[in-house]
Amino acid sequence: MSGQRKRLRVLHVASFAGNIGDLANHAGARRLLDEQLSHRLEFTELEIREFYWKQRQFDENFVSFANSFDLLIIGGGNYLELWVEHSCTGTSIDIKPDHLSQLTVPTVFFALGVDTGQGYSERSVSRFSSFITTILSRHDMFICVRNDGSHRALRQVLGEETAAMIPTIPDGGFFADAAGCNSKPSGSEMIGINLAGDMLERRFDRSLSKDGFLTEMALGLTELMATKPSLHLGVMPHIWRDCSLIAELLALLPDPYLRRRVTVGRLEPNQVGLKDFLESYRHFDLVLGMRFHANVCPTGMGIPCRGLLNYPQIELLYEELGLKERLIDVRDPGFGNRLVASTLSDLKDLAAQRKKVSECMDQLYQQASRTLRNLNDWLNQHR
């Protein structure tokens, strides 16, 4: 949006260090906000993990600090996890009702994930319901959730009527790469691989253990490289815990392939490392991703993805995208055969797969624009 725009000083509470996917989310979200809002936002960042680490609290000091800004944005991110029993809101945003009521700054709960994947109790749902009811009742607060199954979770725990009042917006990671997808180096086919090294007990709680998964994954990747001599693999960690699981996988691959046809992406999970992170993904023909943003960011670049399913969020993301057939469930024995067959099929028909991704991105941009128009109207009323 061009022309002279009013400047707003924004306190942005979110994750800014440790998970490179979060930074891609913010980069894309800020790009869209700058394009579509009639105000120019100037951000002061406050790391949400400082609240988790007990270095800060959502208390009167936070309220006073937030009220000194023109706008407060909390998100995007997966902060509405409903397993947080001790929280006053039933979520990771642990703010007492009294302190919430003392916020006078217009507040946006932006592109938040409502996550029921780790379970929830009646107590947490009751507190969450009160929290959402308060937000929806206040004219100076705005809330939207991201397209990772959060709207479905809202319907599940709060009911259709309440869920209908909360719009959905695509995760900012879909729009992080404004330059678009560059050409990959010539002479090879490249597949990106992402494995998630956190929540292993939850991810591998079915018949296939972590070790069983790694063995079958290694066999599948070895078969792919044996079948296609031009194929190279790039393994992409997003957080430091991913590196441990990746190291275990690499130990199971044949040494000649490791030395000549496998690379590991550089991980610098802060703003400095974001450019290299996105640049690495641009070079892939196809991505096999376990993490949310390992599917979101490449899709935003026009790169076909296959979701490696072992956490509900990935299934719900692909459901919202209308691409559930592109999931590979890695929780049960035998997934390796589908991984090999699906990958070979995609590599034979990349043009068609890219066309599907382009059509998907057109729909996501339209969805983002609708929600941001609502946000802009709300912002113009309050600032």
> 200-209, pLDDT tens digit by residue?
999 999 989 9
Q: Which amino acid is at 2?
A: S
| pLDDT per position as a tens digit, 303-328 | 999 999 999 999 999 999 999 999 99
Going edge to edge, which strands form the sheet with 107-115? 39-47, 6-14, 71-81, 107-115, 141-146, 168-169
pLDDT band of 383, cuts 50, 70, 90: confident
Q: Which two tokens stand for residue 381?
A: 């009323």
| DSSP for residue 252 | T
Going edge to edge, which strands form the sheet with 189-194? 262-264, 231-235, 189-194, 286-289, 305-309, 327-329
pLDDT of residue 4: 80
DSSP string, 163-209: HTTS-EE--GGGG--TT-PPPPPTT-EEEEEE---S-HHHHT-SSS-
pLDDT of residue 271: 87
Distance (Å, rounded) from C-alpha 130 to C-alpha 138?
A: 13
Instruction: Name which of 373, 267, 348, 278 is nearest 1 in CA terms.
Output: 373
pLDDT of residue 11: 98
Would you call 115 helix, strand, or coil by DSSP?
strand
Distance (Å, rounded) from C-alpha 169 to C-alpha 70?
A: 23
| DSSP for residue 58 | B
| pLDDT per position as a tens digit, 145-154 | 999 999 999 9
| DSSP for residue 87 | S
Residue matched to tokens 């991913």: 242
Ramachandran angles phi, psi of 81, nearest 5°? -85, 125
Q: What is the mean pLDDT of residues 238-246?
A: 96
DSSP string, 137-175: H-TTEEEEEETTTHHHHHHHHH-HHHHTTS-EE--GGGG
Flag whether pLDDT at 287 surpasses 90.
yes
Flag whether pLDDT at 34 surpasses 70.
yes
Name which residue leads in pLDDT, 101 or 179: 101
Distance (Å, rounded) from C-alpha 15 to C-alpha 13?
A: 7
pLDDT band of 117, cuts 50, 70, 90: confident
| pLDDT per position as a tens digit, 249-266 | 999 999 999 999 999 999
Instruction: Name which of 365, 308, 140 is nearest 317 in CA terms.
Output: 308
pLDDT of residue 3: 58
Q: What is the mean pLDDT of residues 19-40?
A: 95
pLDDT of residue 63: 98
DSSP string, 271-330: HHHHHHHHHHHHT-SEEEESSHHHHHHHHHTT--EEEEESSHHHHHHHHHHT-GGGEEE-
Distance (Å, rounded) from C-alpha 221 to C-alpha 262?
A: 10
| pLDDT per position as a tens digit, 41-92 | 999 999 999 999 999 999 999 999 999 999 999 999 999 999 998 999 999 9
pLDDT of residue 182: 46
Distance (Å, rounded) from C-alpha 103 to C-alpha 99?
A: 7
Phi-psi region of 182 (alpha: psi -120 to 50; beta: other; left: phi over 0): beta
Domains and CATH numbers, the chain: 6-173+364-382 (3.40.50), 189-348 (3.40.50.2000)
Find the helix or strand (DSSP H, E) in which 295 lies. helix 292-300
Q: Are 32 and 373 in contact (CB under 8 A)?
A: no
Q: What is the mean pLDDT of residues 34-38?
A: 96
pLDDT of residue 179: 59
| pLDDT per position as a tens digit, 160-196 | 999 999 999 999 999 997 555 444 545 689 999 999 9
pLDDT of residue 17: 84
Measured CA angle at 222 (ends 218, 225), to 5 deg: 140
pLDDT of residue 187: 63
Q: Are 1 and 369 in contact (CB under 8 A)?
A: no
- Which of the residue ranges 1-15, 165-179, 261-275, 291-305 would you say has the lowest mean pLDDT? 1-15
Measured CA to CA in angstroms, residue 106 lies from 29, 31, 35, 138, 186 at distances of: 19, 21, 21, 10, 50
Residue 187: CB atoms within 10 A of its CB come to 7
Q: What is the mean pLDDT of residues 6-21?
A: 94
Distance (Å, rounded) from C-alpha 373 to C-alpha 15?
A: 25
Q: Are 216 and 310 in contact (CB under 8 A)?
A: no
